[in-house]
Structure 1
């Protein structure tokens, strides 16, 4: 059993290293410098950027404007502003005609992100869709057609985004939220579809493998350690009860 496990781990690491090697040598899409719309959208944020949040935004946009495909992890506690950085990156990608996929582990998070992205980009010609079990068959079909035709710019979804019937017209950016909640095969499958797309991962609790890749230089890392002003502490409650 031990030999079998070691063999499986070795095979997985070889595949991962091959993928990251291909990404390192690949010529990715060089996104344009910030437009006036980009500046306006970022300035419309209701809160003042924290120093770390501002730094993370700069790092992400610098990566996107590089010829090398981005593979960056943003690590920060809940409520520290990771999603806002992701929204800015998504808007930057859409302005260059690229599509954005946002992968979230639960249907609740999918709906939260869809609302946030749609609300932040409501003043611009950006279509945001969602794929999850909360959507009817008709709605899912419309989103799939929109992704294939390029009419849907940003799609937020669970692992449903990894299904074979999901076809993008021109995917340019993949955002993975709470990636420790996904299996390695899930994440690497979508990355493997387009080895040259930009990858932005968000996490409050990255798995050891992800953190190791970041600390070893295989992936880039941005830490958001400064809380927003007047941030209320997160409260966690455990509620018990009888289920009928």
Structure 2
């Protein structure tokens, strides 16, 4: 699901990726940063569908204890039109707990975001908790509400996987397992997962119906932090703005009343 929604990001070439791509990445990381090591980084190239080529860079740049004394890593995400992230359109930095998702505590305990040339600004604890709680509710729904019975005639997509094989990518040839999502005789998605690719183990994804694809462009193990930490006295994104800001994170205009003209 993460790969499928991220690959749709280039559909708005001028204004950056649609909010669902960012929300899906946040939801994915809210389950915990499994098998992430400091220094791991990966850059994806996304194109097709007549949109301008865009790039996502995800990097693990540090490790520390979070507020619950759990081992956690600092994960940086950048989005732009240049593979080296010159003048990125948006940046996001989050502290994510290692291991499996906790039933009552969010894996993400700190979140910093910036848009374009804007200064990085941190979400207050209350704003982050509210944003993550609302997102989880949207994803899981109300368990107490009765769900309609599935229609017997509704076609169900079939997921089928193949044998591990060598796959040629922009980053070189890697060993990957192909997975297809098929409805009747139509391939909806093709995904290649590889243990050689760090962070999210994704090598490539294609959506033939809309002609879009996301493919690993570069990866390595020497990542350094590229997003500045806000100073303690700089304004934070507060609770009353959390839902509005999270809906467009990290490309929304960040509230900073003290610098407004």
TM range (shorter): under 0.3
Higher strand share: 2
Larger RCO: 1 or 2 (CA < 8 Å, sep 6+) = 1
TM-score between the two structures when normalised by the length of structure 2: 0.24
